[in-house]
C-alpha cells in the first residue's frame, strides 16, 4: 500500500524532471487517443519508469509516458497511456499520478476514454460528455487508511464532473457540428468485454456507456478537490446490441480515427477555461 511519502517522492522526481515548468492541467488520454501529444511543441518527455512508485502501461495504444508542454495557452501535463486495474495494478496505482499531480499544484483534470455505447441512440465514433458514473461495489483507490492530506475519509461524489467544463466543451464540439451526447459511464474492471445480459442490466440501471478505466482516477481526483472534465469516445456498440463480436482492434481503430478531432476539441477547450 502506498504511503504519503511515496506520493511525495513521486512528485519530487516529476518536479525535478519538469525543471521549473509548472503544469496547471493534467490530461489523461484513452485507448488510441494519444495523438494529442503531437500537438505539444517541444514537450518534455518523461517515461513512467523514471518516476518512483509509478507503474508502467501495458495496454495496447497506451505509450506509458508523461509529456509536458503548452496547449491552448495552458501549461499541461499529459499522460500518454493510463494504468488500469485489469493490468494487475491496484486501483491506488491507477490513481497514483492524480495525487502526484495534485502535489505539484495541479487542480484540473481532463480524462478521455474509449467505451462501448449502451444507449441505442448512440453511434460508434460519437462523443459523450460524462455527466456521472456508476461503479457500485467495484474496485476503489481510496480503500485503506485515509490520507487526510488529500481529502476526507468519506468524500462527496454528488458532482464529480464540472458543469462549467461540460458546457465549455459542448460549445467547442457543437461549433464543429458535433452531435455530442451527455451520459452516465458504467465502470467495469475488464479485461473481458461484458455479456449482453450485463449490458441490458446496466441500461436498466441508467448507464449510457461502459468502459474499463477513468473511474478510479476520477474518484481520487474528486477526493483531492480537482475539477474534472470527462469525455468518452464511443468506439463500438456494447455487447449484444449488434449481431457481432467485440474486439480490441476495433476499439483502437475507432480511437485512432477520432484522435485528431478530439485532440482539436481539447485544445480549444483549454483556450476557453
Contacts with ligand HPA by CB under 6 A lie at 114-116, 193-194, 210-212, 235-236, 238, 246, 251
Locate 65 and state its grid cell. Answer: 509516458
Asked whether the beta carbons of 259 and 36 are under 8 A apart, the reply is yes
Least CB distance to ligand HPA at residue 198 (A): 10
Based on CB atoms, which residue is closest to ligand HPA, 46 or 254?
254
Based on CB atoms, which residue is closest to ligand HPA, 70 or 198?
198
Distance of alpha carbon 112 from alpha carbon 102, whole angstroms: 19
3-class SS of residue 205: helix
Beta strands in the chain (DSSP E): 25-29, 44-47, 65-71, 74-80, 108-117, 127-134, 181-187, 209-211, 227-237
Please report, for residues 35, 74, 206, 212, 213, the alpha-carbon distance to residue 185 in angstroms, rounded to integers and kept in the order given: 23, 28, 9, 10, 10
Locate 192 and state its grid cell. Answer: 473481458
Give the CB-nearest residue to ligand HPA.
Answer: 116
Least CB distance to ligand HPA at residue 194 (A): 6
Based on CB atoms, which residue is closest to ligand HPA, 51 or 262?
262
Least CB distance to ligand HPA at residue 152 (A): 31
Peptide bond connecting 263 to the previous residue in cis, omega within 30 degrees of 0: no
Least CB distance to ligand HPA at residue 157 (A): 21
Based on CB atoms, which residue is closest to ligand HPA, 99 or 213?
213
Based on CB atoms, which residue is closest to ligand HPA, 77 or 246?
246
Least CB distance to ligand HPA at residue 241 (A): 9
Based on CB atoms, which residue is closest to ligand HPA, 101 or 111?
111
Distance of alpha carbon 180 from alpha carbon 232, whole angstroms: 10
Based on CB atoms, which residue is closest to ligand HPA, 111 or 238?
238
Distance of alpha carbon 146 from alpha carbon 127, whole angstroms: 35
Least CB distance to ligand HPA at residue 264 (A): 21
Least CB distance to ligand HPA at residue 115 (A): 5
Distance of alpha carbon 208 from alpha carbon 157, whole angstroms: 19
The DSSP code sequence of 10-39 is: HHHHHHHHHTT----EEEEE-TT-GGGGGG
- Sequence-distant (≥ 6) Cβ neighbours of residue 164 within 8 angstroms: 273
Amino acid at each position: 500500500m502506498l504511503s504519503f511519502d511515496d506520493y511525495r517522492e513521486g512528485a519530487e522526481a516529476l518536479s525535478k524532471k519538469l525543471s521549473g515548468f509548472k503544469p496547471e492541467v493534467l490530461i489523461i488520454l484513452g485507448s488510441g487517443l494519444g495523438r494529442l501529444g503531437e500537438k505539444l511543441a517541444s514537450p518534455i518527455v518523461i517515461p513512467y519508469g523514471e518516476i518512483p512508485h509509478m507503474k508502467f502501461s501495458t495496454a495496447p495504444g497506451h505509450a506509458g509516458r508523461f509529456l509536458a508542454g503548452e496547449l491552448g495557452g495552458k501549461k499541461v501535463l499529459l499522460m500518454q497511456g493510463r494504468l488500469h486495474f485489469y493490468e494487475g495494478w491496484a486501483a491506488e496505482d491507477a490513481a497514483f499520478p492524480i495525487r502526484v499531480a495534485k502535489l505539484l499544484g495541479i487542480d484540473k483534470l481532463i480524462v478521455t476514454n474509449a467505451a462501448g455505447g449502451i444507449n441505442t441512440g448512440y453511434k460508434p465514433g460519437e462523443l459523450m460528455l460524462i455527466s456521472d458514473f456508476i461503479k457500485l461495489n467495484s474496485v476503489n483507490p481510496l480503500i485503506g487508511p485515509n490520507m487526510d492530506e488529500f481529502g476526507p475519509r468519506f468524500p462527496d461524489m454528488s458532482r464529480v464532473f464540472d458543469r462549467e467544463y461540460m458546457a465549455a466543451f459542448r460549445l467547442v464540439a457543437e461549433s464543429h457540428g458535433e452531435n455530442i451526447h451527455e451520459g452516465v459511464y458504467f465502470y467495469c474492471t475488464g479485461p473481458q468485454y461484458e455479456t449482453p445480459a450485463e449490458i441490458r442490466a446496466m441500461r436498466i440501471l441508467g448507464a449510457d456507456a461502459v468502459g474499463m478505466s477513468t473511474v478510479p482516477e476520477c474518484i481520487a481526483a474528486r477526493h483531492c478537490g480537482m475539477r474534472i472534465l470527462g469525455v468518452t469516445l464511443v468506439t463500438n456498440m456494447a455487447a449484444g446490441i449488434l449481431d457481432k463480436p467485440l474486439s480490441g482492434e476495433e476499439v483502437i481503430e475507432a480511437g485512432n480515427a477520432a484522435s485528431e478531432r478530439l485532440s482539436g476539441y481539447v485544445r480549444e477547450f483549454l483556450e476557453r477555461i
